[in-house]
Amino acid sequence: MIINLIKSNSLRIIHRCLMREGWNVLVLCVLTIPSLTYASRFSETYAVKMSREGDNKPTFTRRAKLDQTIIFQDTTAEISDEAKAKINNLNRLLLTADSVDLTSVKNNPYLSVGDYLVGQSAGVYVQNPTAEPGTYQNILLRGLSSPQFNNRDITNNQAVVYVNGIPMGQENNFAYDIQRYDYNRIGPATDYLSSIDLSAIKSIEIIKDPIRLAELGPLASNGVIWITTHGGRSGKRQISVNGYYGFNTKPVVTPYNAQYEDLFRKNFYSKYGTIDDVLKYPGYLADSTNLNYYGNADWSDLYYSTSSLYSLDMMLNGGTDRANFGFFGSHTRNAISSDDADLQRYNVLININMLPFEWFKVSTYLNGRRLDRGRNRNLRDRYAEMAYLPDLSTPLSPNKEVYQKYIDHYKREVVDDNVNTNFQGNLNLSLDILKELNFTTSFSVDYNEGVRDLFYPSTLMETINYMSTYYGYTQRFVFSNRLSYNKLLENDHLFKATIGSDYSEDVYRYNYARAYDGPNDYIKLNVVEGNSDYADYLQPKGGLRVLRWNNKEQFHLHSLYSKFDYAIKDLVDLEAVLRWDGSSTVQRDSRWLFTPGASARWHIDKNFGLANLFNVKLAYSRIGKPVYNSRYATGPQYAANLGWTEDPTVSSYYGFAGISRDYSFGWTGYNLKWAYSDKLELAINNSFLKNRLTTVVAFYQTDDKDQIVLAPVPSEFGYVGQYKNGLTVRNQGVDISANAIVSPAKENALGWTVGLNLNVNSNKVTALPEGLQELKIGANKLKVGEAVDNFWLLENQGIYTASAQIPSGLTNNGVAFAVGDANWVDQNKDKAISEDDKVFKGRFTPKFFGGFNNTLTYKGVDLHLAFTYALGHKALNQRASNRYDFINNESKNSIHGIREIFQWQQDVDISKYPYYNVWSGTAPYRLDQDLFLEDASYLKLRSLSMGYDLSKLSSIVSLAPTVRRAYVYLTANNLFTVTKFSGNDPELVNFNGIYDGYGLPLTKTFTLGLKLDL
Amino acid sequence: MMLKKISIKYSLIAFAVLSLLHSSCNKALDVASVQVSSEERHWQSISDTKAALLGLYGLLRSAMVDNNAHWMYGELRSGDFAAYSRPELTALIHNDLNKSYTLLENLSNWRRFYAVINATSLFIERAPEVLQQDRRYTQQNLKLDIAQARAIRAFTYFYMVRIWGDVPLITSSFDNGKFPEFSRTDYRLVLKFAEDELTEAVEDLPFRYGVDPQLYYGSMTGTWQKVLFNKITAYAILSHLAAYQGKYIDVASYTEFIFDNYTQSSIQYTTDIKPSSASEPGLTGYYGIFSNNYTRGQVLSLSSAYVYGEATASGHIEQLTLASPFINRTNPDIYVSKDTINKLYTEEKDRRFGIDRTNPEKPLYRENFFYNYTNEIPVFAKINVVRDGGSDGNYAVFGSNLVFTRLEELILLRAETMAVLRQYVSAIEYLNIVKTMRNTAPYQLSDMDTKPLIDEIFEERRRELIGEGWRFHDLIRLNRIKPMNADIVSLLEQGGNYWPISYQVLENNKQLKQNDFWK
């Protein structure tokens, strides 16, 4: 069995090792053997000894259960195996223990890269604010490297995904500049990372090792998800077909109608309301005979409906020793039971590899994808997109009939097309100039285009209609060259040197147009006059007033690097990386950054002849952090920014562009430099009990230094602040992963493997610009020595129920406290509750997180259980705060005063909060207090799947002998969650730790699938 | 052997490619931002000074309309409006300016006003550079530009002094990445500076810009008279500056200049209350002075024209005052109660608002200022420019001008001045100009015993200027002349007429001290 597996999966890796050496040398190969039987991954180390010339038969010096003759008996081909291997793998990196075991993951209907990783590898934390398919996720490796208080901040923290060596461009966050609210980015706002099909993926590796990141350069500074797809393969043509069908179930909710709301509010009116307040009681609640509100609250029958999801893909590969190809095509629909949200995906991938000469390889990979997203119908998202708030005093009716009309109307009239088209591809040339000298050149392109056409009819929106169109793209090309030299020195020392150059150009662009109150509801698009002969060429038809915005950003990065490897026999490996990176987004005089890195690995097991694996690696590197925004590089600058808080996009005065220093952005001076990341890691790889238990323990410390932040300046110069280098965030922690074969798979016996991964992470701010000790950013604060993701809140001690309880003279910014107000701790004892009394109350990223994966096998049946957990973090319940603060929110007609249809349900635990005086000038239900802070720790059974390979049945074997595999499986997702969190789900929290109740629920999904290899 | 030769060739090519890339890379990394204009590219041509000059007006507008500040400061505080349900507005109306509302904190922040100060100083320092760079930019053009920048800066200081009292007086832009902390300057010195600046600027400011054949920035008078600060503007600011300090003799001479010369700036009285065409200068409605369709000159007004895409849902008093039937909104944020309306507008023929009770069964209403009087909550409709002022209220963005002052305001100021200077006859004459225009009974000298003249002038201001951001400042001036409202007098005594300084501003500059009243 094992022999077969090695033959099919790992032979190429051995070949590669041999190819690289070709001499009488001890080679160390770490083989990762994905196995159906041992569904959990395990690693073994083999030493392969190869004689100097002629005799191609290697000898394995470790107790590998390999049949050497099987591996190397097939040497009759015209060209050498090492040459053949060149065109049989798209991955140029060796896989290490940080790769994800995809065998069990592939049984799940997961959509986005983040989903594939949750709980699968130590140190990977995925933020997922909503279950709506295709929305943005944030993948964090080893914690937050910079503050993350807004949606736009995730760009600074997110790990970069490389697909077949191509770094995927992230959407630039500059589009948020023209948005009053950042709930959604304008445009389709579809996560690019949901375009990659899981079936097409051959391997995923999480790169955290400082030296390997240093080799990849600045784009990799937040860590890397290294994805390799299936590709061409020499040999007989093979076809694989995968498919699944499943459904997402409805959540269990407790809807309510106006009567419940009325009773809820009466608590406040009876205690604190004046007659005037009672007179202004909202109309829809005041009339209890109004059946629209006081009737049945059965909206949920329409809002939630079981939705189906499916996927079908086909993979084909084959070819000769000199040329091969791989093809992959798929169609996927993912959907969720809430609000008809779904995503459809089409994916086509082609890989062609050629070997015209044994020393010359040409290979190309092309991947086209299309995403079509059906979005939610939230009012908040709609009004934020429109940048216009109508009268919000009357909410949608909770009644099914009324809501049905609304939905029908919506479906009939609204246009909301969200299409993303992606293209990714590269062309690689590899030349063996000399036996020791190789030159590789590659050209890669990554392009992601988003289009959104939006139309809301006048009947939905007071009496105006709204349309907007968005077209934007992210485009990156990378031109890489590398020259590497391998030399085996005397006494079995190996020397390797690589020099290379990467040049990449990113272009980010959008064109956005918005129009209100078109002539009628039949013209749903902004149609312009297309004939250039007419005077109104390109003018909108129908007297539409179209407001337009467009913007463009460019980021060019040029890197020169060299890498040196030195191996002292098989005992010690030394590596060093030196790089020079030049960025167009750093000011000219400090544009180039030199960063070094070095590592050493000591194979203790070899040194002392131990039976189990034992090696230690210490690595350090410095990597520049990229900036995707040209504004810091510009230095002092002028912009057309004449807007104000609620209308930030005004840029002209009396129709003339007005230009000034960008006071609302902040002062950008000279001397802004690169920020960089200092990474240090000590990794210990062990195995025990004859390799039945393997462990990796990696201690790390990452200092993200000299980052640019907005530092305060006196307001008397008009600026909101000035940009300064100097923010340093330190992350410390340990990644632990352990894989154990509890009982090996045997005929007629239960096989059980366990994989546990855990990350313990802590972060803190270690420096701020200009020696500051504290820095306020909006409602948050950074303080040296404190975590970067701390909640900064007032401490709530309950309610003042009698005037005697109120300390005499206690005020809130000069307003005296009264009965019914919140009792906040006056931390500095100055008799005034103010910002100075806020304290740090906990972090929003977890201290401990990871996964616990089990695979059980018995007689060809396998069962996978994937648990994931996160502990020790908090979430701020804004949903509860908004619900209670109804007087302020509704009277202001603010965006917080919007009431969605799904908020007609009991989604707030009303036993947790006291009844304060909602009219009080002290704002007792303000969000920035620990009353709304909750423990968001959880444990989830994320996936349970069971499968059986039918091809093992003798009947199938005799009927269809060509079937290599016919695996049927049944999977259930989101089966249960253990948590103390009072909201819907502790995972559905925004990137900044605020829970607003807008996340569509992660409900149970059941799928049935078949994987067929022919 | 053959292979080796080829290989050497390839490696040479490879090295060549590598070295080529390295030399060209520095150039490739010079990518200018398209979002912003760099230091090197600015102050190069006449279009830069034009954009910078209009930017000053834009920044001034953004400071005055952010959070509807102009009306919050001037109209709501102690004013005639009542809040429908927004508690933070009630707090503001009742002078509880330190309550814990974001709105009040934001209104206490003077950053946007200092952005105007900084931008004007920078303009004054840098605009002369363009003379060397672009020959189309003339000395004369520069002179006009600098005069405007100085007038805008002086106005901004005056505006700030009215709100905060002592404010740091900073007269250069710094603009070098250094941000020294300034402490507050005695408001008299600040006003002195503003007055000196205006006195000089007024010499250079023209009555009209772009008088044929001399275009100003490529446009003619018709364009500029609606928006740019002119000589009359500067005199109007000077008048108020002096009036604020009680220097009524100065006010008299400044206003005298205005009334001798205002026609030169195409300024007219808004004689019509609701004109039906552009040929009639009027106050309200589609062709009224608040609308961009008004074709005459202005004294000091900031535009937000719908045709130029500058009409917005926020930053206009309509955002607070309008409701059904003008826009789709049940109730306005603020309104003038029926009691107050009845108290203010007592004459039935008053064109602004009057109830004609000839037929007591069915009274007729003149509803130019207040609409739906019969309802519980009348709608303040004096300033009502939805989009371009048309009747379609479906898409409620507002294109109204922020009219800081107009001729009627200035004539009432002149009347007030004359009254203070005891020249009652001419005071009454000026007062009656407005009264006649609004079709109300003229004030007679004999009325002075029953209705004190100064009271009547301020009552007329209250009626005429409601919604234009004057009420609180008028109360301050009135009670300085003649203490009559105990609350205001007590505020004045304790310095409570000023706003508190925002927490954030104090945090950013340790030299600043909170206003005593709000400590």
pLDDT, tens digit, 9 for 90 and up, residues B74-123: 999 999 999 988 888 999 999 999 887 889 999 999 999 999 999 999 99
Among A786, A803, A837, residue at a domain's last position: A837
Q: Pick the residue of B18, B47, B125 with the most A CBs within 10 A to test the interface with A by mutation.
A: B18
Residue A334 lies in a domain: no
- Considering CB atoms only, which of A433, A501, A888 is closest to B7? A433
Q: Do B42 and A663 touch (CB under 8 A)?
A: no
Residue B17 to residue A556, Cβ atoms within 8 A: no
Full domain range(s) for residue A15:
2-86
pLDDT band (50, 70, 90) for residue A538 = confident
Is B85 close to A891, i.e. CB distance below 8 A? yes
A820 occurs within a structural domain: yes
Taking contacts as CB-CB distances below 8 angstroms, the residues of chain A near B174 are 717
Highest-confidence range of A181-185, A327-331, A463-467, by mean pLDDT?
A327-331
pLDDT exceeds 90 at position A584: yes
- Residue A735 confidence (pLDDT): 96
Name the minimum distance, in Å, from the CA of B242 to any CA of chain A. Answer: 25
Least Cα separation, residue A782 to chain B (angstroms): 15
Contacts with A588 from chain B: Cβ below 8 Å: 30
From B7, B65, B111, residue closest to A718, measured CB to CB: B111
Of B21, B30, B306, the CB nearest to A584: B30
User: Are B326 and B380 a contacting pair, CB within 8 Å?
Assistant: no
Q: For A404-427, how does the pLDDT look when each residue is reduced to its tens digit (9 = 90+)?
A: 999 999 999 999 999 999 999 999
Kindly list the residues from chain A whose CB atom is less than 8 angstroms away from the CB atom of residue B34: 551-554, 630
Residues of chain B found within 8 Å of residue A887, distances taken between Cβ atoms: 85, 87
A776 contacts on B by Cβ (under 8 Å) = 504, 507
Q: Identify the pLDDT of residue B21.
A: 57
Alpha carbons B121 and B153: distance in angstroms, whole number: 8
Cis peptide before A398 (omega within 30 of 0): no
Residue A801 in any domain: the answer is yes
The yes-or-no verdict on residue A55 having pLDDT over 60 is no
A134 CB-side CA count, 13 A: 25
Give B115's contacts in chain A (Cβ within 8 Å). 660-661, 663-664, 718-719
Least confident of A71-75, A430-434, B206-210: A71-75
- A501 to chain B: which residues are within 8 Å by CB? 18, 21-22
Contact A813 B100 (CB under 8 A): yes
The secondary structure element, H or E, covering residue A28 is: strand A26-32
Helix (H) or strand (E) holding B435: helix B424-437
Q: Is pLDDT above 50 for A37?
A: no
* Interface touch B98/A814, C-beta < 8 Å: yes
Q: How confident is the model at residue A882 (pLDDT cuts 50, 70, 90)?
A: very high
DSSP string, B271-283: -BSS-SSTTS-BS
Kindly calculate the radius of gyration of chain A based on its CA atoms and give it in whole angstroms: 30
Residue B13: predicted pLDDT: 63
**Inter-chain touch A921–B114, beta carbons under 8 Å:** no
Report pLDDT digits (tens) over A252-309: 999 999 999 999 999 999 999 999 888 889 889 998 899 999 999 999 999 999 999 9
In this predicted structure, what is the pLDDT of residue A63? 38
Residue A939 vs residue B518, higher pLDDT = A939
Which one-letter DSSP state was computed for residue A311?
A: E
Last residue of a domain, one of A809, A837, A865: A837
Q: Identity (one letter) of the amino acid at A206?
A: I
**Sequence spans of domains, chain B:** 46-267, 406-484
Partners of A372 in the beta sheet? A344, A419
Q: Give the pLDDT of residue B11.
A: 61
What beta strand segments (E) does A117-181 contain?
Answer: 124-127, 138-141, 160-163, 166-167
With H, G, I as helix, E, B as strand and everything else as coil, classify residue B412. helix
B42 with A926: Cβ contact below 8 A? no
Contacts with B365 (C-beta within 8 Å, 6 or more apart), sequence order: B353, B354, B355, B356, B373, B374
B interface test, pick of A172, A432, A653, A781 with most B CB neighbours within 10 Å: A653
Q: Report the distance separating Cα B421 and Cα B427, nearest Å.
A: 9
Write the residue in A583, A722, A919 that is nearest to B29 by C-beta. A583
Whether A921 sits inside 8 A of B101 (CB atoms) is: yes
CA B343 to chain A, closest CA, distance in angstroms equals: 22
Query: How does residue A521 score in pLDDT terms, banded at 50, 70 and 90?
Result: confident
Q: Which of B17, B22, B36 is the best residue to mutate to test the A interface, defined by the most A CB atoms within 10 Å of its own CB?
A: B36
Tell me how many degrees the CA angle A131-A756-A944 measures, rounded to the nearest 5: 45
Reported ipTM: the value is 0.93
Domain boundary among A837, A858, A888: A837
pLDDT at A56: 46
At residue A611, what are phi and psi to the nearest 5 degrees? -75, -35
Task: Please judge whether B57 and A653 are an interchain contact, meaning their C-beta atoms are less than 8 angstroms apart.
Answer: yes
> Pairing state of beta strands A780-783 and A59-60?
unpaired
Substitution target from A654, A672, A725, A821 for chain B, most B beta carbons within 10 A: A654
Q: Which helix (H) or strand (E) holds B476?
A: helix B471-481
List the single residue in B10, B22, B119 with the smallest CB-CB distance to A660: B119
- Interchain CB contacts (distance < 8 Å): A and B: 319
How is residue B216 annotated by DSSP? B
In a domain, A30, yes or no: yes
Find the mean pLDDT for residues A209-226: 95
Q: Which helix (H) or strand (E) holds B128?
A: helix B111-133
Which residue in the set B4, B57, B307 is minimally distant from A658, CB to CB?
Answer: B57
Mean pLDDT by 10 residues, chain B (519 residues): 56 59 70 88 94 97 96 95 90 89 93 97 96 94 96 98 96 93 96 97 95 90 93 97 96 97 95 90 93 93 92 94 89 93 93 88 88 91 90 84 96 97 96 95 93 95 96 96 94 94 93 91
C-alpha distance from residue B251 to each of A732, B204, B247 (Å): 69, 20, 7
Distance between A585 CA and the closest CA of chain B, angstroms:
8
Please spell the DSSP secondary structure of B139-182, one letter per residue: HHHHHHHHHHHHHHHHHHHHHHHHHHSSB----S---SS-----
Residue A10 pLDDT exceeds 70: no
pLDDT for the residue numbered B25: 62
* Residue of chain A minimizing CA distance to B83: A891
Contact between B100 and A919 using a beta-carbon 8 Å cutoff: no
Residue B28: the pLDDT is: 84
Q: Which residues of B touch A657 (CB under 8 A)?
A: 51, 54
Q: Which of B27, B30, B31 to mutate to test the interface with A (most CBs of A within 10 A)?
A: B31
Task: Find, among A556, A499, A448, A538, the residue nearest to A187 by Cα.
Answer: A448
Distance from CA of A918 to the nearest CA of B (A): 10
Distances (CA, A) of A81 to A480, A488, B174: 27, 20, 71
Q: Which residues face B40 on adjacent strands? A: none
Closest CA to A373 of A340, A422, A414: A340
Chain A residues close to B57, C-beta within 8 Å:
653-654, 658
Q: What is the pLDDT of residues A832-874, one digit of tens each?
A: 898 889 999 999 999 999 999 999 999 889 999 999 999 999 9
- Average pLDDT of A431-456? 93
pLDDT of residue B20: 53
The H or E element containing residue A262 is helix A258-272
pLDDT at B14: 61
pLDDT of A962 above 90: no
Q: Given an 8 Å threshold on Cβ–Cβ distance, is A713 in contact with B38?
A: no
Report the residue of chain B nearest A459, measured CA to CA.
B394
> To the nearest whole percent, how much of chain A has pLDDT over 70?
92
Pairing outcome for strands A822-824 and A614-625: unpaired
Candidate CATH numbers 1.20.950.20, 1.10.1380.10, 1.10.10.10, 1.25.40.390; the one for domain B46-267: 1.25.40.390
Question: What's the total number of domains in chain A?
Answer: 2
Counted residue by residue, chain A has a size of 1014
Residues in A touching B39 (Cβ below 8 Å): 634-637
CB contact under 8 A, A483 and B57: no
Long-range contacts of A518-522 (CB under 8 A, 24+ apart): A518/A465, A518/A467, A518/A542, A518/A544, A519/A543, A519/A544, A520/A465, A521/A413, A521/A457, A521/A458, A521/A459, A521/A465
